[in-house]
Amino acid sequence: MDNAALKSFLDEKVQAYNNPKFIETDPIQIPHLFSRREDIEIAGFLIATIAWGNRKSIINNGHKLMRIMGNSPYDYVMNFSDEKTEELANFVHRTFNHQDLAYFLKALQNIYKNHGGLEKVFTQHTTLDSTQPAIHNFKKIFFELPHPARTQKHVSDPFKNSAAKRINMFLRWMVRKDNSGVDFGIWQKISPAQLSCPLDVHSGNVARKLQLLNRKQNDAKALKELDKSLRKLDSMDPVKYDYALFGLGVFESF
């Protein structure tokens, strides 16, 4: 189909999926439990971190994690210490275990106490047209404390050719204000135009079928190609099409 027909088709799918019903089956429901900005940020970041594999398992483990944190993630992070590590002992999601979680909580505490919070860290290195350098620099700050070597694998780096799907999804949640009650739009210093699509198996396969993407691997080079295609369809809000690509792949087996 030509560009106009493709845009019309995808815009229709965005409308179909970018609405409150989407929350019921998506990990974004976890940060939606909260109203305080910092709670939303921390819950969102932690849930995005474990957002791979079975969606039901992700959501169940997300609720379990919030219970461990007393349903007050910001307060829990800011008061976290080594003495509380035992409270995390039973938490695991695939290869993300209690040891990884303990470091994540320390790193988040460091970011809020010494770096002005998550938004400030990501904003500092976002360029005019990309958040990918910001993700790379975020990882440096996140791991500036002593940490287990194994934990580094749980934060992707676009400069090492990763599509960084989970962090790009987290940034979509924080930055994009969709007026439909799904994405939060609580960050003001990054524009939706600077965001990249959360590229995974589902969105990648659909994008290839629609000729938005040619590269076979779901890596940083593929993400750059997909971003370019989506920005031609909507330069101000390209990642809204994540809803269309993901919805077509997961719910319609397109």
Domain that holds residue 33: 3-250
pLDDT for res 116: 97
> Tokens 């997300």 label which residue?
62
pLDDT for res 36: 98
Q: What's the pTM value of the predicted model, to 2 decimals?
A: 0.96
Distances (CA, A) of 230 to 128, 240, 245: 17, 9, 11
Q: Residue 253 above 90 pLDDT?
A: no
pLDDT for res 1: 74
Number of domains in the chain: 1
pLDDT for res 179: 85
pLDDT level of residue 20 (50, 70, 90 thresholds): very high
State the Cα–Cα distance between residues 102 and 96, nearest whole angstrom.
11
In tens, the pLDDT along 75-132 reads 999 999 999 999 999 999 999 999 999 999 999 999 999 999 999 999 999 999 999 9
State the Cα–Cα distance between residues 38 and 18, nearest whole angstrom.
24
State the Cα–Cα distance between residues 184 and 162, nearest whole angstrom.
25
- What does DSSP assign to residue 240? G
Pair of tokens at residue 52: 């791979």
**For the chain, what percent of residues have pLDDT higher than 90?**
97
